Amino acid sequence: MALRIRMAKARLDNGARDGAETAAEYLLGITQQRVPLETGDLQRTGRVESGARGGKKTHTFNVIYGGMGLRDYAQRQHEELLWVHSPGRTCKYVEGPLNEESSTIKAIMAAAIRKHLK
């Protein structure tokens, strides 16, 4: 019985990790359509990173913009509510889609868990 429980837990963990990563990739795709676009530099820095630190297992994935000297720029573009952007592009380009797509994100994660538990 203990072996079956450990196996079920492992499948649940794998499903949760896969679901979180797939959901983060989905969110990245939505944010790519909204990130402010002047030169395209900021858009090109968009990526999904694991939240794992120090070799620890995690089910956390982050949608990140910035890097290569653009981290402060990305943060400022995200938070400045009064800056004007091209049509369809906006501030809060990660936070907005995360809130708006929360039902879809939850469904993606649930589907991955169900798949692993079959």
Closest CA to 47 of 68, 72, 66, 33: 66
Q: Return the pLDDT at 47.
A: 95
DSSP-derived letter for residue 68 is: T
Is the pLDDT at 55 greater than 70? The verdict is no
Is the pLDDT at 96 greater than 80? The verdict is yes
- The answer to whether 106 and 26 are in contact (CB under 8 A) is no
Please report which confidence band the pLDDT of residue 89 belongs to, taking 50, 70 and 90 as the band edges: very high
Please state, as a whole number, how many other Cβ atoms lie within 10 Å of the Cβ of residue 34. 18
Buried b / exposed e along 61-76 (16+ C-beta atoms within 10 A): bebbbbeeebeeebee
Q: Return the pLDDT at 56.
A: 67
Q: In the numeric block, which tokens belong to residue 97?
A: 């889609």
pLDDT tens for each residue of 27-52:
999 999 999 988 888 999 999 998 77
Name residue 96's amino acid: G
Q: Return the pLDDT at 54.
A: 65
Q: Return the pLDDT at 103.
A: 98
